[in-house]
């Protein structure tokens, strides 16, 4: 798929995203990008899924993704894994395991939240296997409740 076909495809998949946001996704796929969940912490990161997670393995299912190549995805998160969705991964022994699948529009909102809070939630399995708009709103509420001092 060339760049214009990819942009057209993801504009249909994510109609709520602007052209620039979709172009950022396509460029992230082409540049083999990854993002750390928390700056300074190297045991959790985000990558973009390149395939569905359909190949069974001991830890769940295997999918291809940017940066890491092949990644194991938990059985709970595997049904949501698709090309263009972001995989939230945490280190499990020597390998990374995908625990959370995040659609691109929700990922753009998630990275604007407090990274330490999201990092803790990912490592403690407090995030559902598929992050939706409602999950982002709930995280914002929990974050604002935690930051307001008791009266």
Instruction: Output the six-digit token pair for 29.
Output: 């796929």
SS3 7: helix
Q: Which domains does the chain have, with CATH numbers?
A: 1-31 (no CATH), 32-147 (2.40.50)
Report pLDDT digits (tens) over 10-28: 999 999 999 999 999 999 9
The mean pLDDT of the chain is 93
Whole-number Å distance between alpha carbons of 151 and 147: 12
* Per-residue exposure over 86-95, b if at least 16 CB sit within 10 Å of its own CB, e if not: bbbbbeeeee
Whole-number Å distance between alpha carbons of 68 and 92: 14
Instruction: Output the six-digit token pair for 14.
Output: 């994510």
19-47 mean pLDDT: 95
Q: What is the pTM of this model?
A: 0.93
């Amino acid at each position: 798929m060339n760049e214009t076909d990819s942009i057209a495809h993801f504009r249909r998949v994510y109609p709520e995203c602007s052209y620039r946001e979709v172009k950022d996704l396509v460029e992230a796929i082409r540049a083999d990008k990854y993002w750390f969940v928390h700056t300074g912490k190297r045991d959790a990161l985000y990558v973009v899924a390149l395939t569905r997670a359909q190949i069974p393995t001991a830890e769940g299912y295997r999918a291809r993704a940017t940066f890491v190549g092949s990644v194991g995805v938990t059985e709970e998160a595997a049904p949501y894994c698709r090309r263009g969705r972001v995989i939230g991964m945490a280190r499990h022994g020597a390998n990374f395991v995908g625990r959370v699948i995040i659609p691109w529009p929700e990922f753009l909102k998630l990275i604007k939240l407090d990274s330490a809070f999201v990092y803790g939630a990912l490592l403690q399995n407090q995030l559902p296997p598929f992050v939706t708009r409602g999950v982002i709103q709930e995280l914002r509420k929990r974050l604002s409740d935690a930051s307001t001092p008791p009266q």
